[in-house]
Structure 1
């Protein structure tokens, strides 16, 4: 990423700066959080370490980390708005998150992606070497009783 971009953009963990409407509009149309109710999104933000990517006052990217700050972290909901892609912002954003001082003791990081494997491989993410040990429980009806 060139230095001009770093001077135009900044990253913050201040949740009061987050544009909840923009985040909700993006995520409810994403493949991984399709139709997420606003209340569920707000609860997930309240209970996560959140990162906003900004150009001036305008939020152009978002990510959150679910973590205990010691043993594990789950990188979630990473996105850059379409008009801002292709400038190196995603790479810079992920690098910033993984370098965040409070997360340096984390032993294991998890994430799920359908189409950004190349980006995350740069930072040491790889397919699980023991997928037989990983389990998941899904509740497909969780959003039905939320607004």
Structure 2
């Protein structure tokens, strides 16, 4: 099967993506539709699509286009896992961000470390320098 990459937000299947994230992901359980829409509207959105035009994967990037990018909400449908879709999605994201010459790209993930390592991600060199403010 052949898959196609897109960086066009208008092509993203918002209800499908929300279902993946709110129902199937470990990081966005219960995400509300209005929060999901606001997140997508203020981010770069990337997707992979099958030959029938159905979305099979998604990733979102928050960036200032000059110094920093945050990769998040990466999801590959169970139906296509193991078929190179995650690698193709990350290659597309990489190819769009790389020309920006950003100093730092970040992400938080509990899995798929091998995938992200292929694109230059590594453990934090100085984790003691990073802090987070989490919602209560």
Give TM-score, length-normalised by structure 2.
0.92
Conservation of the 8 A alpha-carbon contact between 1:11 and 1:51: yes
CA-based RMSD of the aligned residues comes to 1.4
1:17 aligns with 2:21: no
* 1:102 Cα deviation from its structure 2 partner: 6.9
Conservation of the 8 A alpha-carbon contact between 1:69 and 1:102: no
Equivalent residue number for residue 76 of structure 2: 80
Q: Which runs of 4+ in 1 moved over 4 A?
A: none
CA distance in 2, matches of 1:101, 1:39: 27
Unaligned stretches of 5+ residues in structure 1: 141-147
Equivalent residue number for residue 41 of structure 1: 36
Q: Deviations over 1:7-57 (max 9, x none)?
A: x21111211111111101100121111111110000000000000111132
Q: Whose radius of gyration is greater, 1 or 2?
A: 1
Unaligned stretches of 5+ residues in structure 2: none
Q: Deviations over 1:76-103 (max 9, x none)?
A: 1111100111011111111111111675
Give TM-score, length-normalised by structure 1.
0.86
